[in-house]
Chain A
Amino acid sequence: MRSSRRFIVALTSALFAAAPAAAQQVGTATAVNPLSESTPPGGSTAPLVVGAHIVHKERVHTTPAGTVQLLFTDKSSMSIAPNTDIVIDEYVYDPNANKGHMLVSLTQGALRFVGGQLSHQGEATITTSAANIGIRGGTVTVIQGQNGTKVINVAGIIKIVNGAGTFLLTRSDFGVLIQGWNTPIQDLGRIPPGDVAFYQAHTTSAPGQNGGVPGFTGANIGHCGIGSVQGTNCPQVPWMPSEAGQLDASQILGNATNFGPAQNNPPPPPPPPIIIRGR
Chain B
Amino acid sequence: MKDGTWRASWNRCAGALAPALLLIVSSLPAKSQTTSDLLNPLFQGILARPADFNNALQYATLAPAGDIESAISTYEQLLFYNPNLANVRFELGVLYYRLGSYEMARSYFASALTMKDMTPGLRQRTEDLIAAIDKKLQPDQFSGYVQSGFRYQTNAALGPAAGTTLASGRVFNNAFAARPDWNWFGAFGLNYVHDFEDQAGNTFEASALGYDAQQFKLHQFDIGVMELRAGPRFGILSDTAIGLSIKPYFIATGATLADAAYYGGLGGGLTARIKLGDVSLDPYAEIVQQSFRNQTLYPLASGMSGTLSTVGLQASGPVYASLGFQSRVTYAHTDANFNPFGYNAYAGDIWLPWNFSPLGDGRTWTLTPTAGVSWWQYNAPDPTIAPNTTPNILEWRVGLGLEVPIWKLLNLGFLAQYRADVSNVPAFSMHDFSVTAGPTMRF
Contact = CB atoms under 8 A, between A and B. Distances in A.
A168 interface: yes
A144 interface: no
A63 interface: no
Contacts of B106: 193, 196
A129 interface: no
Nearest to B77: A30
Interface stretch (B2-10, B14-22, B171-179, B266-274): B171-179
Contacts of A261: 159, 172-173, 175-176, 427
Given A173-B103, A216-B78, A264 B173 contact: yes
Contact of A225 (B50, B108, B210, B361): B361
A206 B83 contact: yes
Nearest to B345: A251
Interface residues of A, number: 103
B239 A168 contact: yes
A171 B96 contact: no
A187 B237 CA distance: 14
Nearest to A155: B99
A202 B426 CA distance: 72
Contact of A116 (B69, B110, B189, B237): B69
B201 A170 contact: yes
B249 to A, nearest CB: 16
B300 A233 contact: no
Contacts of B91: 221, 223, 231, 233
Contacts of B211: 245-246, 248-249
Contacts of A257: 157-159, 176
Contacts of B119: 226
A213 B53 contact: yes
Contacts, number: 346
A111 interface: no
B61 interface: yes
B239 A221 contact: no
Chain B interface size band reads 35 or more
Given A170-B201, A265-B170, A31 B80 contact: yes
B50 A30 contact: yes
A40 interface: no
A71 B47 contact: yes
Contacts of A248: 209, 211, 225, 227, 255
Contacts of A168: 199, 237-239
B225 A216 contact: no
A225 B158 contact: no
Contacts of B176: 257, 260-261, 264
Nearest to A75: B70
A201 to B, nearest CB: 7
Secondary structure dominating the interface of B: mixed
B344 interface: no
A174 B221 contact: no
A18 interface: no
B315 interface: no
A259 B301 contact: yes
Contact of B94 (A174, A233, A245, A263): A233
Contacts of B239: 122, 134, 136, 157, 159, 168
Contacts of A136: 239
A172 B102 contact: yes
A88 interface: no
B53 A216 contact: yes
B62 interface: yes
B101 A139 contact: yes
Given A69-B76, A190-B197, A265-B173, A114 B300 contact: no
B61 A232 contact: yes
Interface in A228-279: 228, 230-246, 248-250, 252-265, 268
Contacts of B363: 225
B402 to A, nearest CB: 12
A187 B360 CA distance: 45
B111 A249 contact: no
A212 B80 CA distance: 8
B406 interface: no
Contacts of B104: 154, 172-173, 196, 200
A219 B85 contact: yes
Given A31-B81, A190-B197, 4 more contacts: A29-B50, A216-B78, A241-B370, A244-B209
Going nearest first, the 9 A-B pairs with the smallest beta carbon separation are A245-B211, A225-B357, A211-B80, A31-B80, A262-B384, A77-B73, A261-B173, A216-B81, A233-B64
10 contacts: A116-B70, A116-B73, A139-B99, A155-B101, A193-B106, A209-B83, A216-B81, A231-B91, A241-B351, A260-B301
Interface of B: 43, 46-51, 53, 57, 61-65, 67, 69-73, 76-85, 87-88, 90-91, 94-104, 106-108, 110-111, 117, 119, 121-122, 125, 129, 132, 143, 145, 147, 157-159, 166, 169-173, 175-176, 185, 187-189, 197-201, 209-211, 213, 221, 223-225, 227, 235, 237-239, 242, 255, 257, 262-263, 297-301, 303-304, 318, 320-322, 324, 326, 341, 351, 353, 355-357, 360-364, 366, 368, 370, 382, 384-385, 401, 413, 415, 419, 421, 427-428, 436, 440
